[in-house]
Structure 1
Amino acid sequence: MDKHAQLTRAKRLALGCLIIAASVFVLTTLAPRFFPSLSGAWWLGLTKMASEAALVGGLADWFAVTALFKPIPRRYPIPHTNIVATNKSVIAENLSLFVKEKFFHPDAIEKLIASSNPAKGAGRWLSVDANSARLSRFTCDALAGLLRVLDDKPVKEFISRTAEKGIHQLDLRQLMSTSLNAVTRERQHQVVLDRILGKLAHLLAQPDTQVYIADTLVVWLKTEYSRIEKLLPSSWLSEQGALIAVKAVSSILEDIYNDEEHPIRHAFDEQVHEFLYELQHSPLMENKVNGYKDKIINDPALKNYIHQSWAKLSNWLLSSLEEKQGKAEAKVAKLYKELGTNLNSDGELALAFNKHIGEAAKYMAPELADFLTRHIKDTINSWDEREMAQQVELNIGRDLQKVRINGTIVGGLIGAILFGIETLMAF
């Protein structure tokens, strides 16, 4: 049964009780005239007084319930009728404030999250294969949709313009200067030098490197001293020369690596600080840096390379994400299931999960509350007054009709009780 039928049935039932009370009242009032012998009957007086009180109670409740939704009378209504429609803006304001204060208060949100333990529920839900697979498919579809948005021509042009604008506004010289200052302040550039020396030493120790040096010496002898090379054992000399060169360079590298006061380290320091000073104060260096920045922005070959690389990457990602039960979906589902298992087994992780959800909810609650309360208020204020009253009556009117029925019944009981009190007082 729909709401209209339920409301109509409740109204008819309430009206029926009122008609019964009115009929009994009329009958008990007229009975002594047609049957004089009943004029002194106590039960007739009891019935009359009870029906009279029931009629008064039913009519009073009818007026109270009807006055909520309709003007009484319709043409020239008395004050304080048609209450719902008349107070539409007040209802909108109070309802929105009630929702905001009772449902989206930060303390209420925090209490809800603390009592519900979302980490446990999420872990239990994600541990089911079907759930993790479904969430994985949703995630892949969402990412694929995002990629399609990014591949849209107007969006790509907007991103390109924004990136170019950001690079134009970027002070590349200041960024490089700040980064180098941070590196040199902690002498991290010497750490970089140590790593370079270590890599060079490792490279020189490789047999392939020594063979390459020997071959280079052979070519040099044949080119520069072709006559002497025919008389000498060039292969043996080249091998020995390569070994001597490797040992010499390795010895130098080891000395630099072990000696923090080595002249080459000081020379490296001077070069770095000189470059840093020029970067900060030299107009020529500023022009060079700005020139590099302009080349990055305006170089068509670089732009074309970036666009082609993005197109390839985007197509590959899109095909992987859109493949039903493909590798991407399987990997994401596996990650979700592992997360669910960890949330169930790792108490610290679950505690941190709940904590961060609570903090995020407390942070978002005021903004979300303002949005929802404003939406509720604007929506109610946009309704037609008569339509709003009809909708409210349609949803709660059935219970209010029961109030009318209860008013009629309770009124009759009160009338009977008053008759009994009156009779006792007469004795």
Structure 2
Amino acid sequence: MLPDNKQQQLRRAKRIALFWLVGAAFVFILATLAEYRQWITPWPAWAGLIKMASEAALVGGLADWFAVSALFRPIPARFPIPHTNIVANNKAAVAGNLSRFVKEKFFNEVAIEKLVNDARPAQGMARWLREPQNADRLSRFAARSLVGIINTLDDKPVQDMMVSGVKRALLKMDLSPLAAGTLRVLTRDKRHQEVLDQLLYKIAELAHRPDSQMFIAEKLHSWLKAEYRRLEKILPTTWLSEQGADIASKAIVSILADIANDSEHPVRKSFDRQLEDFTARMETDPAMTEKLENIRNQLLNNDTLQQYLFQVWGDVKRWLIDDVAATDGKFTNRLSHALQEAGKSVANDEQLANAVDVHIAEAARAMAPELADFLTDHIRKTILAWDDNQMAEQIELNIGKDLQKVRINGTLVGGLIGACLFLIEHAISLL
């Protein structure tokens, strides 16, 4: 709601409360004049009831006017009496209490967990992402943000700082444990044997190809011509070369098939031992450590490599900027498609959606304390930075409209109490 509307509503509420107070005062004055001027003789009981009710309504309305007004301003303005202008005089207490209230009631773990459980953000996110226009909008926002980050990184001082930081981090890094650990992970559960199988398959496939056999035959023919010139003139060396190439390719395929079909083949065991020995040497051999560090230092100090990487970076950056600027950019379209697929996956898999909700709740609970400290400290500092009168005006602007109802109720309740007291007094006089 706009501040102007709040100002208008506050002024309107004050006018209504003032109207009730003035009405009670008018009735009281009119009833008093009628009694002392003897406009009505003899003075009836209903007139006394009206006078006493209006008198009590006037007292109640004035008392509540004072109570509400004393919250936000000094009364009187020049030489205020104690316990007025309460909000401004208690600014520090208001700031501290409000920040603590927000922290304790809105950012505790139970409230955060209930918020996530009630909202079910995974399902809501999935429904939103399934709409193509939403996924497209988010993908374009992400792409533009990425371009902004890239432009920031392309700034020369930022680039120099990042490059020097990466270099320092790499120079301090102990490569031997990292390289050995990486190899152990890659070779765990005989994963390297799968790589060997693929390598054997590719070599066998290559040996079967006609152009490979032709290449072997040409090499054999050249060898026969160079080593056995006289026999080359007598024997059919071309035919022998072709037959030798065929035999060689079949032998290679047979050997590779034996290795591929035998999990305990000596070649496989030798491959395991070589990798284990190499990994152990990486961890314990100073010469291997020195070699790794030399390779690292050469790469870091290689100007040609750095220039090449910067050129690649520039090409990637230009492509991404042009692609994002295009209406049908590949990056944006693929990202939009991926987001839609992610939304469909979450929407169609209740177990996945529940898992996402659990992780969101865990992340929210983990972030809640720090976020609560930041926000509540911001609330407290913002309130303390306000001018006293400004703070009182802001609070009155937001809750003053409702407080005017207290004045109206005070007028009405005071009038009812006055009427009840008159009736009690009248009943006693009759008895």
Quick check: 214-223 or 278-287, which moved more?
Answer: 278-287
Counterpart mapping for 1:120-135 below 5 A? 120-135=123-138
| 1:167 aligned to which of 159, 166, 170 | 170
Residue matched to 1:301: 304
Pair 100,181 (structure 1): closer, same or farther in 2 beyond 3 Å: closer
Residue matched to 1:378: 381
Pair 402,263 (structure 1): closer, same or farther in 2 beyond 3 Å: closer
1:132 shift after superposition = 2.7
1:386 shift after superposition = 0.8
TM-score, normalising length: structure 2: 0.87
> Is the CA contact (8 Å cut-off) linking 1:210 and 1:246 kept in structure 2?
yes
Indicate the SS of the match to 1:35.
Answer: coil
CA distance in 2, matches of 1:221, 1:158: 63
- Deviation digits for residues 125-152 of structure 1 (CA, Å, limit 9, x no counterpart): 3333332332232222222222222322
Percent identical = 51
Quick check: 124-133 or 296-305, which moved more?
Answer: 124-133
Residue matched to 1:333: 336
> Is the CA contact (8 Å cut-off) linking 1:174 and 1:280 kept in structure 2?
yes
> Is the CA contact (8 Å cut-off) linking 2:60 and 2:413 kept in structure 1?
yes
1:101 shift after superposition = 2.7
Quick check: 16-25 or 95-104, which moved more?
Answer: 16-25
CA distance in 1, matches of 2:270, 2:123: 61
Counterpart mapping for 1:343-354 below 5 A? 343-354=346-357
Pair 229,399 (structure 1): closer, same or farther in 2 beyond 3 Å: same
Counterpart mapping for 1:383-394 below 5 A? 383-394=386-397
Counterpart mapping for 1:387-406 below 5 A? 387-406=390-409
| 2:67 aligned to which of 64, 69, 81 | 64
CA distance in 1, matches of 2:269, 2:134: 63
Residue matched to 2:221: 218
> Is the CA contact (8 Å cut-off) linking 2:60 and 2:414 kept in structure 1?
yes
Residue matched to 1:355: 358
Residue matched to 1:318: 321
Counterpart mapping for 1:140-179 below 5 A? 140-179=143-182
> Is the CA contact (8 Å cut-off) linking 1:144 and 1:322 kept in structure 2?
no
| 1:409 aligned to which of 407, 412, 419 | 412
Residue matched to 1:235: 238
Residue matched to 1:422: 425
Runs of 5+ in structure 2 lacking a partner?
A: none
The letter of the residue matching 1:136 is S
The letter of the residue matching 2:143 is C
| 2:78 maps to 1:100 | no
Residue matched to 1:82: 85
CA distance in 2, matches of 1:212, 1:317: 44
| 1:111 aligned to which of 110, 114, 129 | 114
- Deviation digits for residues 48-107 of structure 1 (CA, Å, limit 9, x no counterpart): 212221121111111101110111233332222111111112212222222223333322
Indicate the SS of the match to 1:2.
Answer: helix
1:422 shift after superposition = 0.6
The letter of the residue matching 2:112 is I
What is the Cα-based RMSD across aligned positions, in Å? 3.0
> Is the CA contact (8 Å cut-off) linking 1:38 and 1:44 kept in structure 2?
no
Indicate the SS of the match to 2:351.
Answer: helix
CA distance in 1, matches of 2:107, 2:66: 37
1:201 shift after superposition = 3.8
- Deviation digits for residues 24-50 of structure 1 (CA, Å, limit 9, x no counterpart): 334433444433874743233222212
The letter of the residue matching 1:408 is T
| 2:33 maps to 1:34 | no
CA distance in 2, matches of 1:175, 1:315: 34
Residue matched to 2:293: 290
> Is the CA contact (8 Å cut-off) linking 1:122 and 1:340 kept in structure 2?
yes
> Is the CA contact (8 Å cut-off) linking 2:129 and 2:343 kept in structure 1?
yes
What is the aligned residue count? 427
- Deviation digits for residues 199-231 of structure 1 (CA, Å, limit 9, x no counterpart): 444433333222211101112233334344233
1:300 shift after superposition = 1.4
Indicate the SS of the match to 1:405.
Answer: helix
Quick check: 263-272 or 109-118, which moved more?
Answer: 263-272
CA distance in 1, matches of 2:23, 2:259: 114
Pair 343,36 (structure 1): closer, same or farther in 2 beyond 3 Å: closer
Pair 87,208 (structure 1): closer, same or farther in 2 beyond 3 Å: same
The letter of the residue matching 2:291 is K
Indicate the SS of the match to 2:77.
Answer: coil
CA distance in 1, matches of 2:266, 2:12: 103
Pair 118,287 (structure 1): closer, same or farther in 2 beyond 3 Å: closer
CA distance in 2, matches of 1:239, 1:400: 105
